[in-house]
Structure formats: structure tokens, C-alpha cells
């Protein structure tokens, strides 16, 4: 019994390496243009978490007639950051709190676009997140 082998068309190693090099060059060209979109997408996390802090502060205010200075009093569990082997890109803190208002801040733990500035968002008793430092 004779086995017949068919030759299958395929790419050789050199052709594959050239294609991978071209894809790498195209990514290097396109990446700087995509950095603002990446930063904007990651800032949604800060806005969402600050809204959660705002809602917790409002609930605390209605029960105690003052705003809290502690995230643990608000039952707000801060997510683990990427530096702590988590997935959060921001560190959250309450800057000030009184009987009339509060201010909370979300500071990026990584520099998204590599320019040396870290993205910072803040929220107060009015409930509107504001970007104070643009990355």
C-alpha cells in the first residue's frame, strides 16, 4: 500500500516574520493617536466610583446630618489598584467633609499616556464629577 502525500501551500518563516514586523510598525504608528481614547475610557471608572461615593455620602448625610470623612463609614470598599494586583486604575479618598459639604478625589495610579501627569477627578456635594488634572 502506497501512501500519497500532497503538498500543502504554506508560508515560510521569513514571510511570517516580515508580516509580523509590518504589523508591529503599524501599531507603533497608530498607538500615539489612540492614547487619548484609552485615557478617556479609563476615566469612566473614576466617574462611576465617584458617583458611588456621592450616593453613599448623601445617604450618610440624610441619616447623620453631616458628611463622612471616612470611606469605611460609608461602607465603600475601595477596589484594589493595578499596583496591588487588582484592576482599578484610580485611588479614592475623601479630602474634606463637614455639615455642609464634602469633596472626594480619584487619582490615577498609573500615567496612562506616559507624559508624567496623573489624571485626577473630584466630586463634591453637588454630584458633578470634574476633571481637575488632565492626563
Tell me if 84 is assigned to some domain: yes
In the chain, the number of structural domains is 1
Question: What φ, ψ does residue 126 adopt, rounded to 5°?
Answer: -80, -20
Q: Which of 80, 83, 86, 107 is nearest to 95 (CA)?
A: 107
> Count of CB atoms within 10 A of residue 76's CB?
20
Q: Give the CA count within 13 Å in the CB-facing half-sphere of 79.
A: 18
Tell me if 2 is assigned to some domain: no
Task: Say how far apart CA 24 and CA 133 lie, in whole Å.
Answer: 32
Tell me if 4 is assigned to some domain: no
129's grid cell? 464629577
Tell me if 87 is assigned to some domain: yes
pTM over 0.85? The answer is: no
**Each residue's pLDDT tens digit, 71-99:** 999 999 999 998 999 999 999 999 999 99
Tell me if 1 is assigned to some domain: no
Higher pLDDT, 34 or 72: 72
Higher pLDDT, 23 or 3: 23
Higher pLDDT, 9 or 67: 67
Q: Rounded mean pLDDT of the chain?
A: 90
Domain hosting 96: range is: 13-133
Res 1: pLDDT: 61
Tell me if 7 is assigned to some domain: no
Question: With bands split at pLDDT 50, 70 and 90, how would you rate the model's confidence at 111?
Answer: confident
Tell whether the model's pLDDT for residue 4 goes beyond 80.
Answer: no
Tell me if 125 is assigned to some domain: yes
Tell me if 5 is assigned to some domain: no
Percentage above 90 pLDDT, the chain: 67
Amino acid at each position: 500500500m502506497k501512501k500519497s502525500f500532497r503538498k500543502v501551500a504554506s508560508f515560510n518563516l521569513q514571510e511570517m516574520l516580515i508580516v509580523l514586523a509590518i504589523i508591529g510598525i503599524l501599531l507603533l504608528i497608530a498607538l500615539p493617536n489612540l492614547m487619548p481614547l484609552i485615557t478617556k475610557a479609563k476615566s469612566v471608572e473614576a466617574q462611576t466610583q465617584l458617583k458611588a461615593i456621592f450616593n453613599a455620602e448623601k445617604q450618610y448625610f440624610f441619616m447623620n446630618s453631616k458628611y463622612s470623612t471616612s470611606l469605611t463609614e460609608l461602607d465603600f470598599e475601595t477596589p484594589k489598584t493595578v499596583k496591588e494586583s487588582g484592576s482599578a486604575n484610580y485611588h479614592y479618598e475623601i479630602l474634606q467633609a463637614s455639615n455642609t459639604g464634602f469633596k472626594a478625589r480619584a487619582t490615577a495610579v498609573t500615567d496612562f499616556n506616559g507624559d508624567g501627569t496623573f489624571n485626577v477627578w473630584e466630586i463634591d456635594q453637588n454630584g458633578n464629577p470634574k476633571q481637575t488634572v488632565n492626563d
